[in-house]
Amino acid sequence: MRFSIAIKNGLILTMDKENRVIQNGFLGISADKISYIGEEPEDFFSDEIIDANEGIVLPGLVNAHTHIPMSLLRGIAEDISLKQWLEEYIFPIEKKLNSELVYIGALLSCAEMIMSGTTTFCDMYFFEDEVAKAAKEAGMRCLISEGLFDFPSPNYGSNIEDGYRYTRWLIEKWKDDPLVNVAVGPHTPYTCSEEILRKSKEIAEEYNVPIIIHLAETKAEVQQIKERYGKTPTQYLNDLKLLSPHLIAAHCVHLSKKDMELIKENNVKVVHNPECNMKLASGISPVPEMLSMGICVSLGTDGSASNNNLDLFQEMDTAAKLHKISKMDPSVMDAITVVKMATIYGAEALGMEKSIGSLEVGKKADVIILDTNKPHLTPLYNPFYSIVYSAVGADVAYSIINGKVVMRKRELVTLDVERIIKDAKQWAAQIRAWLS
């Protein structure tokens, strides 16, 4: 047998339908795909052999909702109301955004994501072509969308037609890329006119790409939409025929029973962002209820300015604990379910479950290896418990995306992290000057 990369001596969590776990397992990669999983073959040749050293081998994590250039706004202002935070800090800065700032912020986030086990992310922001370029440089898989709304955009200006044109151009530009995928990104039901929502659906159907939206994040949003249209945001989107298996809805915090039924009926994909919801005091999404209804609920961090990092290991830990305390029941959101949310359910949310999200022969080789030879990961009775309740992003030793090693023994292969940090610090000084 011949491989380009062989991983041996690993505790492999396949996250496949049977949830197979392979002790002392071997995973072979040929070009961009997984070509072998099982016991170590007696005879094989590989260009690179990685000794997992009894560490955990699992599918690369999927961050199903983020705004990665916002890493440059991390910690700009904290512990104030959402209204004050947006009006006094975020919006004034976003008015001055430019492509270079977005690019550096995106690179900084790509470095952070690779170093904490994320191999695929789903993004909405401005100047998204720069996000695509950064992802490409990092060797990361992504689904990106240009944020569309009623207000002037720092990228396409005040004519929404230019926003549609930019979206079409992005889709065309990246349509044959192996890593970069493009979606349509109407921001929210309350910041987008009916016209933008209808047009987004039209473009998404024309190109057969997903739609990314924020939905029912706050009580205020639900109130506003009810006053405007006499129905909940979910019912409003349903009446506009936006609910579909290709709709990726972030947050879904304030849902009625009927809203959840509509989400289920239309197979809408939900993204849970527990840390952001807690930090902004938005509320607790009914995730256990949605999961028990069979709704696909994935996991996201949201932007770094409201989290304040992109570490999905921390997000898994928080997701599990938030719902346990909320229900006063330690059995809800068990560890296996939470790991699924960050892997196979994330892939499903992005429409990529046939190619990523689990370790199976024939799937794309997006693989991470955790170094478990650490005090806080010893002993290791159950790998799922260790991942959700003990591990942190910094435990990821190797990351492989599309069959290429992007981090080896915690050294980034594709990105110059020192230069990126230096550039990011320079932009932070500029941002501080804008606010003064």
Positions in the binding site for Zn ion (CB under 5 A): 302
Q: Alpha carbon of 193 to those of 205, 225, 315: distances in Å?
A: 19, 11, 32
Of 263, 245, 246, the closest CA to residue 254 belongs to 263
Angle between helices 99-114 and 128-138 (to 10 degrees): 40
Rank residues 28 and 210 by Cβ distance to Zn ion and give the closer one. 210
Nearest distance in Å: CB 96, Zn ion = 20
Distance CA(352)–CA(54), nearest Å, equals 29
Rank residues 302 and 311 by Cβ distance to Zn ion and give the closer one. 302
Amino acid present at 94:
E
Nearest distance in Å: CB 90, Zn ion = 12
- What pairs with residue 270 in β-bridges? 249, 297
Rank residues 145 and 358 by Cβ distance to Zn ion and give the closer one. 145
Residue number with the shortest CB distance to Zn ion? Answer: 302
Q: Alpha carbon of 338 to those of 34, 122, 349, 375, 419: distances in Å?
A: 24, 18, 14, 23, 35
Nearest distance in Å: CB 303, Zn ion = 6
Nearest distance in Å: CB 306, Zn ion = 8
Cβ 306 vs Cβ 68: under 8 Å: no
Q: Alpha carbon of 154 to those of 117, 162, 302: distances in Å?
A: 31, 12, 20
Nearest distance in Å: CB 421, Zn ion = 24
Rank residues 305 and 365 by Cβ distance to Zn ion and give the closer one. 305
Rank residues 302 and 366 by Cβ distance to Zn ion and give the closer one. 302
**CA 289 to chain CA mean position, Å:** 22
Distance CA(154)–CA(147), nearest Å, equals 10
Of 259, 310, 311, the closest CA to residue 286 belongs to 259
Nearest distance in Å: CB 123, Zn ion = 9
Q: Contacts for 327-330 with beta carbons within 8 Å, 24 or more apart?
A: 327/288
Rank residues 302 and 395 by Cβ distance to Zn ion and give the closer one. 302
Nearest distance in Å: CB 65, Zn ion = 6
Nearest distance in Å: CB 312, Zn ion = 15
Rank residues 275 and 302 by Cβ distance to Zn ion and give the closer one. 302
Residues 6+ apart with CB under 8 A from 273: 65, 250, 251, 299, 300, 301, 302, 315
Rank residues 124 and 339 by Cβ distance to Zn ion and give the closer one. 124
